[in-house]
């Protein structure tokens, strides 16, 4: 609808002999609905370019613009030179029909057509259960995947498992210690170990014979054996927790695969070398990432000959590049933001075009209960996990709360509010609207009113609450595109609340099932259109849309 209006403005400019301003045409929504449904700043922009009075130019534009009265039936000049347009009632009510016909495909867009995108998210180290910030990343990442798919992108989601390196060795030593303690041996817990109680649990699962066998090995092999056992269990937990959260990945990529023979580390190093981006210092191999905008150079191979985490990460991104994605989006936790510059530098060495790698960071989450921050002691190994959060407030409320905020802002997660299954809780407010519609449709069916095949009755819709609801429905496609382009899923939570409010208002004022059958059908179609868009909004967020509550 915007492009339709934009081209009308463009031809009006052309008839007036103004060519140079057509690139300045912007269509937006006035923040005060009383001004109209769409507005353009073109007169101000063009007047600026050519000199002259914006209001006067707007007036001339208004006279020469040719618009189908079945689309827009009111044009006004306002303020400093805005052109405001109002949809005709016929066009608005027609949209109710369109939504009913398109169903869940309403709002589908082709802006991502031909674009293959990878979204990598969560990717938390498998050295412990997923914590709250990982839950936030999971909610955001999966919603983004849905939104990109809705807009025509071909999307693959991936979890990068850091199942190699010194952290895993530490994990092995920690588990080994727990196992020895289980055997009654008085051994101190390592200073830099993982103190969480979950390792005590895992130690309890080790078959005693196996454990004794591992203990008998050389220290390195011994740590590796315990480490593998721990990884195995923790990865299973992570997948189970994500599953319970309704988050599914297309692919899990293991760092260890990169370290295996022919796994990509060696080749990556060669590419760095042939790009003349490498030098030796102190016995270590360095990447001159400062040439690519990083603040300091980075070690690729330590003086003891082992590759760094960064080299593996670079190899991983080379692998992504070779897989042919037109764009790769990484969602990082707040503790990884220092990696952005060096990874982009690596991508540049590999020959990736500017903007190929897009890294978003999700900021910290504070859990708040009864107005006070919930203490999370990582040192004591006690922390709130994704699994316990879902158990506590449910996955729908968790996701909705995570998705209410911009990702780059710190988030206060109000546990007290999220737990409430009452009107104060925004997620229930939206879900209730959906359930209410299902209930009305069922009630109407019992009363003999069904969704009609012939939808021409929608032209009967004319109450302010009806038209206002339709106005909220028709912005959905544009909203989804905006959320996709900006990678901002949180726009949809705000929209869902606004749409739910608009429906509740309509429901309160306009009785749907009445003795006027045609009007009842029209209102039923409007309710169904609202249900479709609500269900789709919630679906994109990964939140369920219940039929009853």
Partner RNA sequence: GCCCCCGUAGCUCAGUGGAUAGAGCACCGGUUUCCUAAACCGGGUGUCGCAUGUUCAAGUCAUGCCGGGGGCGCCA
Q: Which helix (H) or strand (E) holds 159?
A: strand 154-161
Residues 187-246 interacting with RNA (rule: CB under 7 A): none
Q: Binding segment for RNA among 96-104, 219-227, 296-304, 344-352 (CB under 7 A)?
A: 296-304
Interacting positions 73-92 with RNA (CB under 7 A): 78-80, 82, 84
User: Is residue 423 a contact residue for RNA (CB under 7 A)?
Assistant: yes
Which residue in 273, 275, 491, 517 binds RNA (CB under 7 A)? 491
Shortest distance, position 337 Cβ to RNA, whole Å? 5
**Nearer of residues 123 and 157 to RNA, judged by Cβ:** 123
Under 8 Å between Cβ of 521 and 534: no
Query: Which of 412, 471, 517, 544 is the binder for RNA (CB under 7 A)?
Result: 412
Task: Report d(CA 464, CA 510) in Å as an integer.
Answer: 10
What is the size of the binding site for RNA (CB under 7 A)? 92
Contact between 428 and RNA (CB under 7 A)? yes
Distance between CA atoms of residues 166 and 252, nearest Å: 20
As given in the structure block, the two tokens for residue 388 are 């316990």
Q: Which long-range contacts (CB under 8 A, 24 or more apart) does 211-220 make?
A: 211/179, 211/183, 212/183, 214/176, 215/176, 215/179, 215/180
Nearer to RNA, 100 or 289 (CB): 289
Site for RNA in 116-145 (CB under 7 A): 125
- Comparing CA positions, the residue from 160, 319, 140, 316 lying closest to residue 238 is 160
* Angle between helix 490-509 and 476-486 (nearest 10): 160
Does 488 contact RNA by CB under 7 A? yes
Report the residue number, 58 or 206, with the smaller CB distance to RNA. 58
The residue among 102 and 228 lying less far from RNA, judged by its C-beta, is 228
Tell me: does residue 404 bind RNA (CB under 7 A): yes
Q: How far is the CB of 185 from RNA (least distance, A)?
A: 27
Which of residues 235 and 435 has its CB atom nearest to RNA in the complex? 435
Binds RNA by CB under 7 A, chosen from 309, 376, 383, 419: 309
Q: Is residue 544 near RNA by the rule CB under 7 A?
A: no
Are 348 and 292 in contact, with CB atoms under 8 Å apart? Answer: yes
Beta carbon nearer to RNA, 282 or 454: 282
Smallest separation, CB 1 to RNA (Å): 13
Q: What is the 3-state secondary structure (H, E, C) of 464-480?
A: HHHHHHHHHHHCHHHHH
Q: Cβ 381 to RNA, closest distance in Å?
A: 16
Q: Which residue number, 296 or 379, has a Cβ lying nearer to RNA?
A: 296
Select the residue interacting with RNA from 98, 432, 452, 459 (CB under 7 A). 432
Find the shortest distance in angstroms from Cβ 183 to RNA.
Answer: 28
Closest CB to RNA among residues 348, 362: 362
508 binds RNA (CB under 7 A): yes
Minimum gap (Å) between residue 65 Cβ and RNA:
16
Angle at 547 between CA 155 and CA 422, to 5 degrees: 100
179/332 with CB nearer RNA: 332
Distances (CA, A) of 435 to 91, 264, 545: 28, 52, 7
Are 415 and 445 within 8 A, CB to CB? no
CA distances from 538 to 387, 497, 546 (A): 22, 10, 10
CA distance 424 to 269: 55
Q: How far is the CB of 421 from RNA (least distance, A)?
A: 4
**472 touches RNA by CB under 7 A:** no
Site for RNA in 31-50 (CB under 7 A): 31-32, 35-36, 39, 41, 44-45, 48
Alpha-carbon gap, residue 72 to 91, rounded angstroms = 8
Based on the shown chain and the rule CB under 7 A, indicate whether residue 54 belongs to the binding site for RNA. yes
- Is residue 167 near RNA by the rule CB under 7 A? yes
Alpha-carbon distance 386 to 531, whole Å? 30
Of 217, 323, 337, 375, which one interacts with RNA (CB under 7 A)? 337
The smaller minimum CB distance to RNA, of residues 184 and 296, is found at 296
Distance, in Å, from the CA atom of 318 to the CA atom of 347, rounded to the nearest integer, reads 7
* Binding segment (CB under 7 A) for RNA, from list 21-29, 223-231, 261-269, 392-400: 21-29
Closest approach, Cβ 97 to RNA, in A, equals 20
DSSP state letter for 54: H
CA distance 77 to 39: 10
Q: Report the residue from 373, 408, 462, 463 that binds RNA according to the rule CB under 7 A.
A: 408
Long-range contacts of 289-295 (CB under 8 A, 24+ apart): 289/341, 289/342, 289/345, 289/346, 291/345, 292/341, 292/344, 292/345, 292/348, 292/349, 293/341, 293/344, 293/345, 294/341, 294/342, 294/345, 295/341
According to CB under 7 A, which one of 70, 443, 463, 518 is a site residue for RNA? 443
Binders of RNA among residues 246 to 285 (CB under 7 A) are: 255, 281-284
What angle (nearest 5°) sits at the alpha carbon of residue 198, between those of residues 194 and 200?
85
Q: Does 159 interact with RNA (rule: CB under 7 A)?
A: no
- CB 329, min distance to RNA, A: 16
Residues 362-401 within binding reach of RNA (CB under 7 A): 363-364
């Amino acid at each position: 609808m915007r492009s339709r209006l934009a081209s009308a403005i463009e031809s009006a400019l052309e008839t007036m002999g103004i060519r140079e301003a057509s690139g300045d045409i912007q269509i937006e929504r006035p923040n005060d609905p009383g001004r109209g449904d769409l507005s353009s700043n073109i007169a101000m922009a063009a007047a600026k370019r050519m000199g002259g009075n914006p209001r006067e130019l707007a007036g001339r534009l208004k006279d020469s613009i040719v618009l189908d009265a079945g689309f827009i039936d009111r044009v006004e000049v306002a303020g400093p030179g805005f052109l405001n347009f109002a949809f005709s009632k016929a066009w608005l009510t027609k949209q109710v029909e369109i939504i009913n016909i398109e169903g869940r495909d309403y709002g589908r867009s082709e802006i991502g057509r031909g674009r293959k995108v990878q979204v990598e998210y969560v990717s938390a180290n498998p050295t412990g259960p997923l914590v709250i910030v990982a839950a936030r990343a999971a909610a955001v990442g999966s919603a983004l995947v849905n939104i990109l798919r809705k807009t025509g992108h071909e999307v693959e989601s991936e979890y990068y498992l850091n199942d190699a390196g010194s952290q895993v060795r530490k994990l092995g030593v920690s588990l080994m210690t727990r196992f020895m303690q289980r055997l009654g041996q008085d051994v101190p817990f390592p200073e830099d170990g993982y103190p969480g109680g979950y390792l005590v649990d895992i130690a309890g699962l080790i078959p005693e014979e196996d454990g004794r066998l591992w203990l008998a090995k050389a220290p390195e092999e011994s740590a590796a054996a315990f480490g593998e056992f721990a990884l195995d269990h923790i990865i299973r937990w992570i997948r189970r927790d994500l599953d319970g959260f309704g988050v599914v990945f297309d692919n899990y990529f293991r760092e260890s695969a990169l370290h295996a023979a022919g796994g990509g580390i060696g080749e990556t190093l060669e590419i760095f070398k042939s790009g003349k981006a490498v030098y030796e210092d102190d016995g270590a191999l360095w990447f001159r990432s400062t040439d690519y905008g990083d603040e300091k150079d980075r070690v690729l191979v330590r003086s003891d000959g082992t590759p760094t985490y960064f080299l593996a990460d670079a190899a991983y991104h080379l692998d992504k590049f070779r897989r042919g994605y037109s764009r790769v989006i990484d969602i990082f936790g707040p503790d990884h933001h220092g990696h952005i510059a060096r990874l982009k530098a690596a991508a540049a060495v590999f020959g990736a075009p500017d903007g190929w790698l897009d890294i978003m960071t999700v900021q910290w989450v504070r859990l708040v209960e009864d107005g006070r921050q919930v203490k999370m002691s990582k040192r004591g190994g006690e922390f709130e996990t994704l699994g316990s959060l879902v158990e506590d407030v449910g996955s729908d409320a968790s996701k909705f709360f995570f998705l209410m905020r911009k990702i780059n802002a710190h988030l206060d997660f109000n546990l007290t509010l999220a737990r409430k299954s009452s009107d104060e809780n925004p997620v229930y407010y939206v879900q209730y609207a959906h359930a209410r519609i299902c209930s009305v449709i069922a009630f109407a069916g019992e009363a003999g009113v069904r969704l009609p095949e012939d939808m021409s009755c929608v032209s009967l819709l004319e109450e302010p609450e009806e038209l206002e609801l339709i106005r909220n429905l028709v912005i959905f496609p544009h909203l989804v595109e905006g959320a996709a382009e900006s990678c901002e899923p949180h726009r949809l939570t705000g929209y869902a609340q606004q749409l739910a409010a608009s429906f509740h208002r309509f429901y309160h004022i306009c009785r749907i099932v009445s003795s006027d059958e045609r009007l009842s059908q029209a209102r039923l179609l409007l309710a169904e259109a609202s249900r479709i868009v609500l269900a789709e909004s919630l679906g994109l967020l990964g939140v369920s849309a219940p039929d009853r509550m």
